[in-house]
Amino acid sequence: MTIQNKPAANKNLDSIRKTIANHKRHDFIFASLGTLVIASLTITLLILFLDLVIDGYPRFNLDFFSNFPSRRAARAGILSAWIGSSLVLLVTFFVAVPLGITSGVYLEEYAKKNWFSDLIEINVSNLAGVPSIIYGLLALGLFVYSFGLGQSILTAGLTLALLMLPIVIVSTREAIRSIPVHIREAAYAVGATKWQVCRNHVIPYSYGGILTGVIIGMARAIGETAPVITIGALTFIAFLPPSPIGLEPPFINFDWLESGFTVLPIQMFNWISRPQLAFHVNAAATGAVIIMLTLLMNGFAIKLRYNIRKKIKW
């Protein structure tokens, strides 16, 4: 009996081995495919960066940063654009960060779990999914015309702040959520009020996580173009807004908030849209500046988050 069965069993074993080898081959093929896809994505990112740097290389000099845009491509620079971007981001920062953090603290620490907090929550996650150009339309209807702020730095800063807000709220909430309850309980046990717990414990401990969100949000705001175009920002600006810091008292003035402006991505878009190739070089150089800023900021944020995750104390 056993002797007769042996060839059959062998045959069976062979087919099983074949099947296993086949399946292992599938594994290998898929793993290679995955590696290939990820490698090509990485290479795309590299090409994107190198292409901009190589194309824009002839314009990397001090003049490019200290000249106004000009009809002659070789003399045009991004002075008004980078100053405009900085001032707009200043407004964005001072609006979005306090609002985002307090909103996050409210949702995480104060809000009772009911339909109302659910409503706010749904709203926050919906806002994160609204296309950025819709914020531009909101700003055009509300800030520019209803509030009469015009096409100013203030309007652009507020618009980008709206875009950044959901990012700050979400990161604040995530950071707060990772703080264990016993820290709060310990503070309550020695008689702290709710706000004291928040101010002295919850907010300081979630500082790193919030900072990560703020940096990512700011990096996004730097490159955001569509909403700023929609509010009607000018594309050719050959003047600077009034300086925020004066030489005479009170040293700080806010006239710049009402000034016209342009920002880096709009300057880049303007140069791409022109038919002359010489301007495309300028566009590439501007793009290289933008992408370097965003990559640096995002890289810093990622590193920061990694560090926080590594040295959590509790």
The residue to which tokens 């965003």 are assigned: 294
Query: Closest separation between CB of residue 74 and another protein, Å?
Result: 19
Q: Which range binds another protein by CB under 8 A, 72-80, 83-91, 165-173, 244-252?
A: 165-173
Instruction: Give yes or no for residue 172 binding another protein (CB under 8 A).
Output: no
Give ∠ CA 229-294-227 in degrees, rounded to 5.
15
Q: What DSSP character marks residue 275? A: S
Q: How far is the CB of 248 from another protein (least distance, A)?
A: 35
DSSP state letter for 259? S
CA quadruple 256, 261, 265, 267: dihedral sign: negative
- Stretch 68-127 residues interacting with another protein (CB under 8 A): 98-99, 102-103, 105-107, 110-111, 119-120, 123-124, 126-127
Pick between residue 13 and residue 45 the one whose CB is nearest to another protein.
45
Amino acid at 172: T
The first and second tokens of residue 292, run together, are 């370097």
CB 253 within 8 A of CB 246: yes
Q: Which of 5, 11, 12, 47 binds another protein (CB under 8 A)?
A: 47
Q: Is the CB of 70 or the CB of 273 nearer to another protein?
A: 273
Q: CB under 8 Å to 197, separation ≥6 — which residues? A: 109, 184, 187, 188
213-272 positions binding another protein, by CB under 8 A: 216, 219-220, 222-226, 229-232, 235, 265, 268-269, 272
Number of residues located near another protein, criterion CB under 8 A: 86
DSSP calls for 242-255:
PPSB-SSTT-B--G
Question: Residue 74: which of 274, 288, 290, 281 has the closest Cα?
Answer: 281
Nearest distance from C-beta of residue 3 to another protein, angstroms: 29
Q: Which is nearer to another protein, 244 or 300 (CB)?
A: 300
**Does 15 contact another protein by CB under 8 A?**
no
Among 76, 78, 156, 162, binds another protein (CB under 8 A): 162
